Amino acid sequence: MAVLLQIKNATKSYGDQVLLDNAEATLSEDVKVGFVGRNGAGKSTLLRILLGEEELDTGEVFRHPKLRIGYLRQHDPFLPGETAQEFLMRDSGQPDWKCGEVAGQFELKGDYLDGPIAKLSGGWQTRVKLAALLLHEPNLLLLDEPTNFLDLRTQILLEHFLRSYREGCLIVSHDRGFLGATCTHTLDLSRGKLTMFPGKIDAFLEYQREQREMTERANSAVLAKRKHLETFIAKNKARASTATQARSKSKQLERLEVAEIEVDDPTARIRAPQVEPRQGPALRAMNLSIGYPERTIASGIDLEIEHGSRAAIVGDNGQGKTTFLRTIVDSLKPVTGEVRWGYGCQYGVYAQHVYTSLSDKQTVLEYLESNAAKGTKAQEILSVAGALLFRDDHVQKKISVLSGGERARLCMAGLLLSPYNILILDEPGNHLDVDTVEALAESLVAYKGTVIFTSHDRHFMKRVATNIIEVRDGRVNNYAGNYDAYLYYVNKEIDDGEREEVARRAKAPQASKPTDTAKPVAAVKTARRNEREIRKEISTIEKTIARLDDQKKQSNAKLMQSTDAKESLRLHNEVESLATELAAAEDRWCQLQEELGEDLV
């Protein structure tokens, strides 16, 4: 396996802030790595260094001679009036048939491919940029928060692509669900050090937790021993008969050291507003139409949201999720119909239009004190501020000097200290790192009020949502099922669409694509295998399934009995790997059964 990039003895600082401290890491071909770390740790800086846009203070980055980096651009590289097809051909220099083929992987066809890019939503424009990136045939993809503002279907399409992509990837993301579905390794940047973990994000976080607990237990034992020695020395150092023992114990005491816990305490101390639980409908929408005077987005909306529920608003970008939220909080008037809140409902809103309109005159602390519920203690205000990365002198910063991300976090902190019994949250996970998103999820699960929210983070959605409301094709409906069921439905829809596209391409004439007479003949021969060959492969697959299933059961049994942390982690990874192989084998068995059925017809 070729090494594409290697970072050796890397150091990088900005003033007193040390981002890289003799950091080292290796990126290999065909390995997908999830890159994690707290906000401000230096992840984006390291990406810029790998791209050659910044230099290390000291150290080296070794690049393979055949390295071809593909970077998902955040800016828009499009020309006025340009179509997606025109942009792809201009950017890549590839022929129209090749551009159309790659664009099809992201469902870019028809008006989405041949119409003006300017009329596409942000999510669809990201699909165009992804297709452009692939047309350059990179062997290492660098993706910086690729799921930000992508709708669910685009995220799943990107996942499908990355799982089948046979080259290396380094993906920065706070979305644990996305990282878990696409990356086999985890790279952590913490306190200037890079740590490569040979496992998925959830296994890495569990490993971190176990290591922290082990260190804490060891430190507790050291402190207890230290206290015992100090007591012995204090009692015996003055006695002639025991003074020698006391001196010996003093030397032991000097050698006792506690281990530094390098991982910061998780930001799991976020507490949602303390409110009294209520019953009955919190919100009723009756014959509601939402949109603008010139255009109705959705109509005929009749739904109820119960007190205590956590309703996730889902749907593709451009379908009207934010329009629906703005309508129910009265920042946008209904086109027709009525929105009615229940008695005693007080709602607080987290949305971009809120955190861009904060008063510049206040400090961070003054803003939080003014928004906190009556009687909130100063320590609790500082604790919430610290959890959202406003620590020490940062609480005295004026709002006027805060960045957009800092303003967003400040707005969230103010909301969490408020007395509201209903929280309206539009993409609350943006601008937060993995630990803080998890802490926010935990606080919302414990919240006794009602939550209505949107998010592109599937792990967050799964943790928080108790019911799903889908905005799609001009309608808003309560979805009958939990978030897992909704995900299954969307995945199935995409899979069905991909199969239809494959069938359509197989039937469509390939006039503009160069042809090779030998290849179609070979393809026909491969596709029309006889029944005997299919049954032979089915038999082989069945033996493989039986073997993998047996191995998985044995490894799982060992895992249940293991008490050693490292051995448990190894067995956990082994069980996950076997489960992945088993699922692939079972999928292949199903495909062969379908192929056999078609061959017999």
Alpha carbons 244 and 242: distance in angstroms, whole number = 5
156 in the same domain as 97: yes
447 in the same domain as 329: yes
215 in the same domain as 183: no
Say which residue, 43 or 584, is predicted with more confidence.
Answer: 43
The arithmetic mean of pLDDT across residues 485-508, rounded, is 69
564 in the same domain as 461: no
400 in the same domain as 485: yes
Say which residue, 552 or 139, is predicted with more confidence.
Answer: 139
pLDDT tens-digit profile of 266-292? 444 677 888 889 999 999 999 999 998
Let me know if residue 264 belongs to a domain: no
Cβ–Cβ under 8 Å, residues 486 and 468 = yes
216 in the same domain as 185: no
416: left (phi over 0), alpha (psi -120 to 50) or beta: alpha
Measure CA 124 to chain center. 19
- What is the rounded average pLDDT for all residues in the chain? 81
Instruction: Decide which of 474, 489, 504 is a domain's last residue.
Output: 489
Let me know if residue 225 belongs to a domain: yes
Let me know if residue 507 belongs to a domain: no
301 in the same domain as 160: no
**Number of structural domains, the chain?**
4
Which of 59-68, 363-372, 479-488, 576-585 is least confident?
A: 576-585
Place of tokens 């192989």: 581
From the number of C-beta atoms within 10 Å of its C-beta (0-12, 13-18, 19+), residue 327 rates as buried
Enumerate the β-bridge partners of residue 479: 468
Let me know if residue 417 belongs to a domain: yes
Let me know if residue 261 belongs to a domain: no
530 in the same domain as 440: no
Polymer length of the chain: 601
524 in the same domain as 464: no
Instruction: Decide which of 470, 489, 508 is a domain's last residue.
Output: 489
245 in the same domain as 185: no
Let me know if residue 482 belongs to a domain: yes
Assign residue 452 the CATH number of its domain: 3.40.50.300
CA 221 → CA 227, 230, 483, distances in Å? 10, 14, 44
Strand 140-144 relative to strand 168-172, pairing = parallel
Cβ–Cβ under 8 Å, residues 174 and 145 = yes
Non-local CB neighbours of 504 within 8 Å, separated by 6+ positions: none
377 in the same domain as 323: yes
Let me know if residue 386 belongs to a domain: yes
Cβ–Cβ under 8 Å, residues 417 and 371 = yes
312 in the same domain as 378: yes
Residue 521 pLDDT class (50, 70, 90 cuts): very low
Which of 32-41, 255-264, 416-425 is least confident?
A: 255-264
Alpha carbons 434 and 101: distance in angstroms, whole number = 35
The residue segments making up the domain with residue 595 are: 516-600
The arithmetic mean of pLDDT across residues 197-225, rounded, is 84
What are 203's two structure tokens? 């296994």
Alpha carbons 253 and 245: distance in angstroms, whole number = 12
Non-local CB neighbours of 230 within 8 Å, separated by 6+ positions: 253
| Residue 255 pLDDT | 75
CA angle 587, 589, 594 (to 5 degrees): 95
Instruction: Decide which of 151, 181, 198 is a domain's last residue.
Output: 198
pTM over 0.95: no
Let me know if residue 325 belongs to a domain: yes
Which of 243-252, 359-368, 436-445 is least confident?
A: 243-252
Cβ–Cβ under 8 Å, residues 176 and 202 = yes
Q: Select from 432, 475, 473 the least CA-distant residue to 455.
A: 432
pLDDT for residue 264 is more than 50: no
Say which residue, 63 or 225, is predicted with more confidence.
Answer: 63
